[in-house]
Amino acid sequence: MINSTLEAVNPKLNPRLDLVIERTLEVSPERVWAAWTQPELLKKWFAPAPWSTVDCEIDLRPGGQMRTTMRSPEGQDFPGVGCYLEVVEKERLVFTDALTPGYRPSSAPFFTAVITLEPYGTGTQYRVVAMHADEATRDKHEEMGFEKGWNQCLDQLIEVAKGM
């Protein structure tokens, strides 16, 4: 169990299955953590504009729920629910849509995310790894605009964090 947990939170990258974003942010890990873990803050940045996040519920503990609803510019809502696998305050969040709260299997798994925050001067070294079960799912996520969308959301997160 310990080894599988360590692999999940410090994944060996597989370029055929994983998508990665690494950036140095000019905001502290505490502020980045708050933006990821406080629903009212997360709603301000979690969808790439002109999309929006109109609802969010966070139960920040392993087995707890992360539920969001994104709204398209046309007004269509897209709910999403996932399960936290690991929560290390101000350092790491691991969540997946392969499981729902309480570790119940999901009917439509897509990816597992590992968000890592490390202090870097007065800022944060930020890394997200989106791990996929197969190449087709990874490729679909990439084609959907993973890099552009996640970087745009990260820019929005930075603005929210700077304004705190």
Q: What global pTM score does this model have?
A: 0.89
Tell me the pLDDT tens digit for each residue of 111-164: 999 999 999 999 999 999 999 999 999 999 999 999 999 999 999 999 999 999
* CATH number, domain 2-9+17-162: 3.30.530.20
What the block records as the tokens of 69 is 């609803």
Q: Quote the CA–CA distance of 149 and 5 in Å, as a whole number.
A: 28
Confidence of residue 11 (pLDDT cuts 50, 70, 90): low
| pLDDT score, position 8 | 47
Place of tokens 């809502």: 77
Tell me the pLDDT tens digit for each residue of 34-47: 999 999 999 999 99
Tell me the pLDDT tens digit for each residue of 96-118: 999 988 888 888 778 999 999 99
